[in-house]
Chain A
Amino acid sequence: MSAIVLPLVIGAAFGWTLERAGLGDARKLAGQFYLQDFTVLKVIMSAILTAMLGGFWLGRLGIIDLSAFYVPETFLAAQAVGGLVFGVGFVLCGLCPGTSCVAAASGKGDGLAAVAGLLTGVLATGLAMPVLEPLYTATALGTFTLPQLLHVSYGVVVGGVTLMALAMFLGVERLERRA
């Protein structure tokens, strides 16, 4: 029972929060890439900071076992290329997989079109997997984190990411005040 209810509840909280932030609106999302609307950056970085700092401190205090959190494996080439491709598609579409569902749920036809396009793209890519396999499985580095890459402690990276994000927020606030 909870195997069904849990993902529904988590998804509902996810969708609710995205909509509240206005990320169901393609113009708002695309505005990030025209330096007009920085909601995307603020939401993403705030979310990362929260989950990262929460995980770090709960783990440090022994309240949770941070090693039990699944870290996605690194496939450097595939994720770099995939990211570039994704970025192109994102500017053309104005919505990402999660926000396209929110847009569709808000009655937006472009949301529905995005969902249909995403499904088509995923399906076609899956069918093309025999051709894509070399890229898909290239540079498989396994579980590879920034602390391991930079040879510094986990806490140092957490501190660094925090400072970087706060600096971004300061910069963005200044840009917005000037606009």
Chain B
Amino acid sequence: MSAGRNLAAAALVLGAAAPFAGSPHAASRATLDIEALAAAIAAGEDHVSALQLAQWIRDRKPGLRVIDVRSPAEFAGFAIPTAENIPIEALTRAEFAAGDTVVLYSEGGAHAGQAWVLLKAKGVARAYFIAGGLADWRDEVLSPVLPADASPAAQAAFRPIAELSLYFGGAPVAGPAGSAATQMRPSSAGAELAAIRRRGC
């Protein structure tokens, strides 16, 4: 049975070497350009606001993929419309097209920020996350605030935000006099390098 013996020898060699060979999954061996990543983070090019995402969803931005990195149970409870559920441990195996704009979110933003690093390591060109997570979505999109004593200019600036909120089934809230209105923060996804106030991370 020399055929069997040869095959067994080959299997033995290949099998015995396997534990020392590292991971067979390409994604496990991805490399990070940490200089480039650090620069992107400092420039605020790593995240977008919840309102920006809402605008992209409503305007059906081509190639937009909204990824919820929480567990399936949390996703079933509530999710941003058009979101796909890819839990963070499955993210490395997910496939993204070259022209895709991927926006990640999690409950508070921490996991989404980590997922952003994973996607950059995978080579996704346009990846962003919602810095404040679903909390930002609830605050900015579902319940945007307009203080009771807002100036006419502020009211005019708020109108598109109110429309966006209603589109997603939210309801603008009248805030106490003197409080700050919810604002469409300048988009960090692009050439503008504005210092963005971040909540939680």
Write the nearest CB–CB distance from B85 to chain A, whole angstroms: 12
Q: Does B190 contact A (CB under 8 A)?
A: no
How many residue pairs bridge A and B at CB < 8 Å? Answer: 75
The answer to whether A53 and B11 touch (CB under 8 A), given A155-B18, A155-B19, A159-B16, is yes
Q: Does B25 contact A (CB under 8 A)?
A: yes
Chain B facing A: main interface SS: helix
Q: Does A154 contact B (CB under 8 A)?
A: yes
Residue from A46, A49, A155, A161 within 8 A of B24 (CB atoms)? A155
B11 near A162 with CB under 8 A, answer yes
Q: Does B98 contact A (CB under 8 A)?
A: no
Q: B27: nearest residue on chain A (CB-CB)?
A: A67
Write the nearest CB–CB distance from A46 to chain B, whole angstroms: 7
Q: Does B78 contact A (CB under 8 A)?
A: no
Residues of B within 8 A of A171 (CB): none
A161 near B25 with CB under 8 A, answer no
Residue from A53, A55, A158, A166 within 8 A of B8 (CB atoms)? A166
Looking at the complex, which of A17-25, A58-66, A90-98 is the stretch in contact with chain B? Answer: A58-66
Residue from B4, B14, B25 within 8 A of A66 (CB atoms)? B25
A155 near B22 with CB under 8 A, answer yes
Taking residues whose C-beta sits less than 8 angstroms from the other chain, chain B's interface range is 20 to 34
Produce 1/0 per residue, B84-113, CB < 8 A to A: 000000101101000000000000000000
Interface of A toward B, CB cutoff 8 Å? 46, 49, 53, 55-57, 59-60, 62, 65-68, 143, 153-156, 158-159, 161-163, 165-166, 169, 173
Interface of B toward A, CB cutoff 8 Å? 1, 4, 7-8, 11-12, 14-27, 90, 92-93, 95
22 pairs, CB–CB < 8 Å, chain A vs chain B = A49-B15, A55-B24, A57-B21, A57-B24, A60-B22, A60-B23, A60-B24, A65-B26, A67-B93, A143-B90, A155-B20, A155-B24, A156-B19, A158-B19, A159-B15, A162-B11, A162-B12, A162-B14, A162-B16, A165-B11, A166-B12, A166-B15
